[in-house]
Amino acid sequence: MLSISRWGVPMSLRHQINLRIILTSLMILVLGGAVAVWQARTAVSKEIDSSLNLAAQLIQLNFPQGGQSAVDVSTWLPRFVSLEQTRHLHIQLQKASGEVLRFSAVPKHISDAPPTWFVSLVSARYPDVGQQVTTADGQQLTLIIRADPIDEISEAWKESRAFFVSLCVMALLTFCAVNLVFKKAFQAIAVIVDGVAAIGQGHYRQKLPDFAIQEYDQIAKAINHLTEVLDAAQQENTALTLHSLQIQEEERQHLSQELHDELGQSLTAIKVMAVTAKNPQADTGQITDTIISICDHLIAVVRSMMRHLHPLVLTELGLKATLEDLLNHWAGRQPGLAVTLHCDDAVDLLPTAMTIQLFRVVQECLTNIVRHAEASEATIRLDIRDGKQLCLAIADNGQGCTPANLKAGFGLLGMRERIKSLGGDFSIDTQAQQGLRISAIIPLS
């Protein structure tokens, strides 16, 4: 999930990790604090209850008859107060009138007193323990024992504070350890980002180094493979562009030569004949027949040039009729090659931009079959499936092609690019002496 800062800028991975560590540490501290307070409260309650129970038992042992027997308070009370178990108790003697006669000890002075909020959280209400006693001189007194948990709370505060400090130290160590672990990972990410940025600028030959972290190393290898594919595609496109420019120049040169040799000479001959026809003694009938013959030849040359540049029948009659005309043209030139066409009538409804590309692909395939395949049979199939896909399949029974020739041939590369420009998939299946099959699937949606 992508984290966005308050300014709408994505947060870095380092900041996201640090933020999550801090939030987790705070949650642990809050939870640990609650547990520590609960444990301190429980410990203080148990300690105070134990002291009160012990005091009650001692009083019952010393006053088995409900406090009616006479007791030497001046001797018994100091012994009782000196017990270690009574250090959390506040003991006093009180007359029936409420006057306090003696306290158990002077008020405690704690050097490291716990804070008030901690005392309020840990403290609880404890019942007083009272006992009627009769002194040796017959005076009736009340022995009152109250809980005084401040000493125990102070000890609990020290333990809780140590626990809090330990949690803070652990959180700090965890924060430092995680940052140290991710420091190397962040460095690897920076290298990968720089490499991807270089790829975006077209530096496809720049490779990412190997990483010690397995996941980053796999990413680097995938990016390096991607750059190899992009570099190969760029080289193929560059070579194809240069080849297309070369073919364009060759076609221009060929057209220029055709215009010079055929049209130029023929027009010159017609002009000479027209000048000759002005002579009264000239054989006008023969001159007229010659001009007609030259014009017929010029018409055939112009039609051939037009067919080579762009077949007009494609615009006038559609793709199917154009392919049939192409096959008739090759049948006259290559009688040893039998080409069969299976074409759906619906192909004539395809867009013009698609039909010209399909025609050029079929034209290039037939040219390759005639020049290189040494085949006797070839099949061309154009089908439309459910109105959603156009399937083109061209197969021959020739000598096939090797993988090296597949990569080196500009004709196949040009066909692949034409199909790709239509958003289709192009594939070639061939084996030695088992012919070659070209398949293309083009979406029509």
Class of domain 311-445: alpha beta
Closest C-alpha among 137, 143, 128, 126 to residue 66: 143
Length of the chain: 445
Q: What is the pTM of this model?
A: 0.49
Alpha helix stretches (DSSP H) within 201-213: none
391 DSSP 8-state letter? E
- Rounded CA-CA distance 403/429 in Å is 10
Closest C-alpha among 423, 442, 311 to residue 385: 442
DSSP structure string for 118-166: HHHHH------EEEEEEETTS-EEEEEEEE-THHHHHHHHHHHHHHHHH
Q: Which segments in the chain show pLDDT lower than 50?
A: 1-2, 4, 66-67, 103-107
- β-pair type (389-396, 100-103): unpaired
Q: Give the model's pLDDT for residue 112.
A: 66
**Which tokens hold the place of 121?**
């959280």
DSSP structure string for 168-182: HHHHHHHHHHHHHHH
- Rounded CA-CA distance 142/133 in Å is 6
Backbone angles phi, psi at 107, to 5 degrees: -55, 145
Q: Give the model's pLDDT for residue 329.
A: 82
Q: Give the model's pLDDT for residue 314.
A: 79
Q: Give the model's pLDDT for residue 1.
A: 43
Q: Give the model's pLDDT for residue 96.
A: 64
Q: Give the model's pLDDT for residue 67.
A: 45
- Could you tell me which residues come within 8 angstroms of residue 372 by beta carbon, excluding any fewer than 6 positions away? 398, 401
Q: Give the model's pLDDT for residue 380.
A: 93
- Rounded CA-CA distance 393/406 in Å is 17
Contact in structure between 293 and 273 (CB atoms under 8 Å): no
Q: How many helices (H) and strands (E) does the chain have?
A: 12, 10
Q: Cα dist. 211→177, 198, 217 in Å?
A: 20, 18, 5
Indicate the burial class of 298 (C-beta count within 10 angstroms; 0-12, 13-18, 19 or more). Answer: middle
- Rounded CA-CA distance 59/81 in Å is 12
